[in-house]
Structure formats: structure tokens, C-alpha cells
């Protein structure tokens, strides 16, 4: 059986999850893809996590070109996070004829147009299902089975860390700082959680969702964004009294041909399906003019759930390579 070789940039939370799944489900994956899929090179500055995963020195490198310009590598998975050097690495990989998969919402949202154009120019695939909603297959659904719809509205709970904080504070009365620490320990939060709690992570994800659903790219910095840092216990109590939950909501709607969008905490009536989305779970509530209302629900953060979407993207490309 042919082998498709993958180069992994970054053995962090998602890199480890991706590696774990490719090992754990190797038999099922090769049977379904019709090829073996192997991670053959891993780039990182520090090899501790790679060693913990059982990788030996011959797999590891600190030199990006050993992945990006490696003639044996078919697919590059960029899981470093942040905008740079991740974007430059992805562009470089595509310009060297590699397909690229990434969970990196910040880089995809910031460089969306250039990344898409570069993939097209080089006739390579560029997939980023894991960038929005972790394990939830929402981007693929929008681009494939729902592509015959005009989308009217998207409402999303798109950040595991803030949803975890709001749930634990609201339902259990816990303190903000303690819950944030807990979310960091569980691997939901970004290395610098400012992007989570100030709503920038959600703005990145909404930018990507809008580009696919409405075919309109809006820079994340142009999305009016308010995070959850000013939410207090009193607000959560008031929401409860009004039969509501406070959720950090990404909202995009098309009215009279004009797209309106925002990221902000909103009171959501307990009867709305999004009110029942707790802890690190994410959900995307979509309205299409043909499909009607749809809700996608699942784990939006964490090593293996996010790795699940990365592996799905790798397999789609591997099948095309085969």
C-alpha cells in the first residue's frame, strides 16, 4: 500500500492530538484512505513533548526547510499557532507543492485571501476544518452538502475557554480566575488567554465562517468585538432571573443584501438550543434558505477533538493523492 507522508510543524496541543489519532486509529485510517498515512518529520524548538509521544531524534528537526522543502513530504500540517511564522511556513509549503492542513484560526483569518490564492496558484489543497469549532464538521458541511443554500444567519458559540468560564461561573458560582486556570490546565485556552477572553479568537473563527458561508471576507479586526472580561456575578444572576444564559455569541446575518456581524456576550433565552451548550462545547446555529435551521454541536477545543478534524482533512487529501 502506498504511503502518504506528513510533515508536522509544532508538537503542541493539536500536534500531539493529531499524532495520537494517526497512531491509535492507524488500521481504520489506512483502510478508509486506501493509503498509509505517516508523520515522517516533526518541527519543534523543544523536543520534550515529541519524546513523550515516543518519537525519536530521526523524526525531529529544528529546521523548517527539512519539512517545507522535503521532497518526500506530501502534506504539511501547520500546528504552531499564531500568525507568524505560521503563515510564511504555509505559503512556503504551498509554493513547494505541498498540500497544507491547519487548525490555526488566527493565521487563516488574517491571511485568508493570500493563502487561498496561493493554494489555487500551486494547485494544492488547503484545508482548515479544525480552525472553527474543533471537532465539529461545520466548514466542510457549508462547502459541500449545504453549498446550494443562501445563508441568512449564523450564530455561534465558538470558544471553549470562554464558554467553560461562563458555564462554571453561572451554574456553579465559581470565580473567574480559578476557572480560567482550570481551562488552561485542560488545554482549551490559548498560550496567552487574552485572545480567548477578549473575543479575538471568536472574531477569527467568525471571519472564516463568513468567508465560506457568505463568500465575503471580513478582516477579524473589522468585526466589532467584546469579550467576557467585564461579566460579573450580578450579570449572570440577572440572566438567570430572566430565564436566560449569558453566552459569547458570534453573529452574522444578511439583511437586504448587507452582511452584519458582531462578537459579544448576549442574553440567550433558556429555550434557545444554544443556551444548552455548556463548558468547552461549541455550537454553530445556521439558517439556510433551503435547509432551514441547523445546529452543529461538539467539542470546540482540546487536543484529540481538534486533532480529529485535522486527521479528517489529511485523509481527504490522502485519498486525492491516491
CB of 226 to ligand HSE, least distance (A): 17
CA 8, CA 137: separation in Å to the nearest integer? 22
183 or 317, CB closer to ligand HSE?
183
74 or 78, CB closer to ligand HSE?
78
41 or 205, CB closer to ligand HSE?
205
87 or 122, CB closer to ligand HSE?
87
Question: Using CB under 6 A as the criterion, which residues of the chain lie in contact with ligand HSE when the complex forms?
Answer: 105, 134, 159-161, 188-190, 196, 201, 300-301
Residue 224: CA count within 13 A, CB half-sphere = 8
Active site residues: 205
CB of 301 to ligand HSE, least distance (A): 4
Cell of 67: 519539512
CB of 130 to ligand HSE, least distance (A): 8
CB of 159 to ligand HSE, least distance (A): 4
Beta-carbon contacts of residue 119 (< 8 Å; ≥ 6 apart): 94, 100, 125, 126
114 and 90 Cβ atoms separated by less than 8 Å: no
| Alpha helices (H) in the chain, listed in sequence order | 13-24, 26-33, 48-52, 65-68, 86-95, 105-121, 138-143, 160-172, 176-185, 194-197, 200-213, 233-241, 303-321
CA 248, CA 238: separation in Å to the nearest integer? 16
Measured CA to CA in angstroms, residue 210 lies from 166, 168, 223, 300 at distances of 25, 30, 11, 18
141 or 161, CB closer to ligand HSE?
161
Burial 199-217 (b: 16+ CB within 10 A, else e): bbbbbbbbbbbbbbbbeee
CB of 158 to ligand HSE, least distance (A): 7
Amino acid at each position: 500500500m502506498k504511503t502518504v507522508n506528513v510533515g508536522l510543524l509544532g508538537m503542541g496541543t493539536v500536534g500531539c492530538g493529531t499524532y495520537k489519532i494517526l497512531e491509535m486509529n492507524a488500521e481504520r485510517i489506512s483502510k478508509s484512505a486506501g493509503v498509509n498515512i505517516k508523520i515522517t518529520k516533526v518541527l519543534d524548538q523543544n523536543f520534550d513533548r515529541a519524546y513523550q509521544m515516543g518519537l525519536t531524534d530521526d523524526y525531529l528537526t529544528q529546521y523548517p526547510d527539512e519539512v517545507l522543502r522535503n521532497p518526500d513530504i506530501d502534506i504539511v500540517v501547520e500546528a504552531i499557532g499564531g500568525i507568524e511564522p505560521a503563515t510564511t511556513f504555509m505559503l512556503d509549503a504551498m509554493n513547494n507543492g505541498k498540500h497544507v492542513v491547519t487548525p490555526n484560526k488566527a493565521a487563516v483569518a488574517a491571511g485568508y485571501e493570500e493563502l487561498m490564492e496561493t493554494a489555487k496558484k500551486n494547485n494544492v489543497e488547503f484545508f482548515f476544518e479544525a480552525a472553527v469549532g474543533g471537532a465539529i464538521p461545520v466548514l466542510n458541511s457549508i462547502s459541500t452538502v449545504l453549498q446550494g443554500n443562501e445563508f441568512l444567519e449564523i450564530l455561534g458559540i465558538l470558544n471553549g475557554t470562554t464558554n467553560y468560564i461562563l458555564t462554571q461561573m453561572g451554574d456553579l458560582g465559581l470565580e473567574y480566575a480559578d476557572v480560567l486556570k482550570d481551562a488552561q490546565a485542560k488545554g482549551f485556552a490559548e498560550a496567552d488567554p487574552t485572545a480567548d477572553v477578549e473575543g479575538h479568537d471568536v472574531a477569527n473563527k467568525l471571519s472564516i465562517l463568513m468567508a465560506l458561508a457568505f463568500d465575503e471576507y471580513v478582516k477579524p479586526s473589522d468585526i466589532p468585538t467584546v469579550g467576557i472580561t467585564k461579566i460579573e456575578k450580578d450579570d449572570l444572576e440577572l440572566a438567570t432571573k430572566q430565564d436566560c444564559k449569558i453566552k459569547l455569541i458570534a453573529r452574522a446575518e444578511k439583511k437586504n443584501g448587507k452582511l452584519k456581524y458582531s462578537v459579544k456576550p448576549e442574553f440567550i433565552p433558556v429555550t434557545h438550543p444554544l443556551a444548552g451548550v455548556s463548558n468547552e462545547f461549541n455550537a454553530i446555529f445556521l439558517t439556510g434558505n433551503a435547509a432551514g435551521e441547523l445546529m452543529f454541536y461538539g467539542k470546540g477545543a482540546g487536543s484529540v477533538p481538534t486533532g480529529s478534524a485535522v486527521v479528517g482533512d489529511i485523509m481527504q487529501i490522502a485519498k486525492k493523492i491516491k
